[in-house]
Amino acid sequence: MSKEREPLVTHIFTADPSAHVYNGRIYVYPSHDIPHDGEDNDNGDEYQMRDYHVLSMDDIGAECIDHGLALSEDDVPWVSEQMWAPDVAYKNGTYYLFFPARDKEGNFRIGIAESDKPEGPFKPHPECIKGSYSIDPASFIDDDGKVYVYNGGLWGGQLEKYRTGSFDPNGTEPAADEPAVGPICAVMDDDMQEYVAPPVAIQILDESGEPIKAGDEDRRYFEDPWMNKIGDKYYFSYSTGTTHYLVYAVGDNPMGPFTYKGRILEPVIGWTTHHSIIEHKGKWYLFYHDCELSGGINHRRTVKYTELKFDDKGDIITIHPYDHK
């Protein structure tokens, strides 16, 4: 059985979980870490994921099933390597897998693959989404049916290299006292084939309404966007990267701006932290990963989950990942 704060599966290494509830069942769309003996670096070369498996559970605490290979880089003509963190959206009777990968020139793009079943297998579009770049796609379907795709990651994710509006291989982050590079967001067309317009930058503000600065590494965006609508508020959550927090900001519009509110999860074992949040049977759950099982090897991660709680003001109560030990 799947226990809280324990790996969902241990027969493969999984990371970057995007969780959803379809037909009353919990589906988790993770990346798949491939064990190797290479070195870690800031470009993320150690993350050599090549395919996707879909996991599912009947309920929280139930046995977690691996549905097997759902999509491989060998299936996608434009991909060269590194199929990183994916997500899925359900619309028009179809499940759409959004995934990042390097194209033949080594630049990260976002692709789409389709299935009539939540567990796949998924059939990829022959080309990536026109105008897409960087990593970590996260889909959000608003009450009006509009599908938003958030994404972006610094360093290996190349986000800072697009600050001029096009790819600059020498692009860098802003100075510490300048506004941080933010995530990007685009809206899908009704057929879920392309963006209706190029991605736009999303602003994350501090409590004074000023953009969070690049040097504010406890709060600035690094990677791993996720969106939840709770009541009439939009909760945008993300990873801070270098300081290893999962944090969140709240706004009144899915395109922001969002005002920083606080931490969701304190640092886990391992360099990366990546998550998703779902509601199931009246409770909220955080899905995340760490490297506890592998003894801290950064590219050998496992997906876990834990209950997420709110205080009486609607603020998320910070989780300390190992306080149950």
103 is catalytic: no
Strand blocks (E) in 162-274: 184-187, 200-201, 204-205, 223-230, 233-239, 246-251, 258-265
The total of other beta-carbon atoms located within 10 Å of residue 296's CB is: 12
CA distance 130 to 128: 6
Residue whose token pair is 């600065």: 213
Question: In degrees, to the nearest 5, what angle opens at C-alpha 241 toward C-alphas 239 and 246?
Answer: 30
For 224-243, write each residue's pLDDT tens digit: 999 999 999 999 999 999 99
Within 13 A of 303's CA, how many CA atoms are on the CB side? 33
Q: What is the DSSP letter of 299?
A: T
Checking if the pLDDT of 291 tops 70, the result is yes
pLDDT above 70: percentage of residues in the chain:
100
Q: Are 139 and 130 in contact (CB under 8 A)?
A: no
Q: Are 101 and 109 in contact (CB under 8 A)?
A: yes
pTM of this structure: 0.98
Q: Are 228 and 277 in contact (CB under 8 A)?
A: yes
Residue 147 buriedness (CB in 10 A; 0-12 / 13-18 / 19+): buried
The predicted pLDDT at position 41 comes to 87
Catalytic residue among 16, 103, 224, 292: 16
Q: What is the Rg, in whole angstroms, of the alpha carbon atoms belonging to the chain?
A: 18
Checking if the pLDDT of 325 tops 80, the result is no
Mean pLDDT of 7-33: 98
Residue 92: pLDDT band (50, 70, 90) is: very high
Give the chain's domains with CATH numbers: 13-308 (2.115.10.20)
CA distance 41 to 111: 25
For 273-289, write each residue's pLDDT tens digit: 999 999 999 999 999 99
Residue whose token pair is 């090897």: 297
Catalytic residue among 87, 103, 119, 223: 223
The values of phi and psi at residue 162, to 5°, are -110, 15
191 is catalytic: no
